[in-house]
């Protein structure tokens, strides 16, 4: 039997996760069966179960990779926003997220929303979310530290932490509000942050 290369295994795994992401984004985790993912991927049941022995393992991998994509997107924006205020950085992150959604990459955002609910019943999902969101918050904390320093304000760890926690709440709240109400834009958030900052 020919040996399967690491590249082939990685490609198969990606094929399965991409298929799962599309189905999960459309129907949620619990309304999507493994048969749905098998059909979407075009692979056999044996091939899918070789990589993911259970639906939970597939859900975890899909959440982790979807959040990694969102985290990487945010990290790039935060690294580029050297002279920006925390509010400007949040708007830039949201602008990039919304742009990716308009280009057809809505699945990662929906997976993130479904993951919040799933985390309430699954400790494993909760752990994945903790790792990913702490990474985003750490990036926002770096933005806050740079901003405080640029204003000549004394650096206070508690203050930078509070700013980072608030900004992450804004990011997460934007995703929820956009998904439910649909009438909020990243520019609304920018105007709101500016109005609060200048009071």
Burial string for 11-47 (b: 16+ CB within 10 Å, else e) reads ebeebbbebbbbbbbeeebeebebebbbebbebeeee
Mean pLDDT for 72-97 is: 81
pLDDT at 199: 58
Tokens of 76: 């790039």
Q: What percent of the chain has pLDDT over 70?
A: 92
pLDDT of residue 87: 81
Whether pLDDT at 193 is above 60 = yes
24 has pLDDT over 60: yes
pTM: 0.82
In this predicted model, what pLDDT tens digit does every residue of 130-189 receive, in sequence order?
A: 999 999 899 889 888 888 888 777 667 788 999 899 989 998 998 888 888 989 888 888
pLDDT at 101 over 80: no
Q: Would you state the pLDDT for residue 146? A: 85
What would the pLDDT profile of 43-67 be if each residue is shown by its tens digit? 999 999 999 999 999 999 999 988 8
């Amino acid at each position: 039997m020919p040996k399967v290369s690491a590249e082939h295994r990685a490609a198969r795994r990606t094929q399965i996760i991409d298929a799962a992401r599309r189905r999960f984004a459309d129907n949620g985790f619990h309304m999507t069966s493994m048969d749905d993912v098998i059909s979407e991927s075009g692979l056999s049941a044996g091939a899918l179960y070789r990589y993911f022995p259970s639906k939970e393992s597939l859900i975890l991998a899909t959440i982790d990779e979807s959040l990694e994509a969102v985290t990487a997107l945010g990290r790039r924006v935060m690294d580029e926003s050297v002279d920006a205020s925390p509010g400007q950085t949040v708007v830039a992150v949201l602008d990039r997220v919304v742009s990716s959604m308009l280009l057809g990459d809505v699945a990662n955002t929906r997976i993130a929303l479904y993951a919040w609910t799933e985390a309430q019943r699954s400790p494993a999902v909760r752990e994945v979310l903790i790792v990913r969101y702490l990474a985003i918050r750490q990036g926002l904390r770096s933005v806050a530290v740079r901003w405080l320093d640029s204003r000549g304000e004394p650096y206070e760890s508690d203050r930078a932490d509070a700013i980072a926690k608030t900004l992450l709440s804004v990011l997460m709240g934007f995703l929820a509000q956009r998904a439910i109400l649909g009438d909020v834009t990243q520019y609304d958030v920018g105007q709101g942050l500016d109005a609060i900052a200048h009071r």
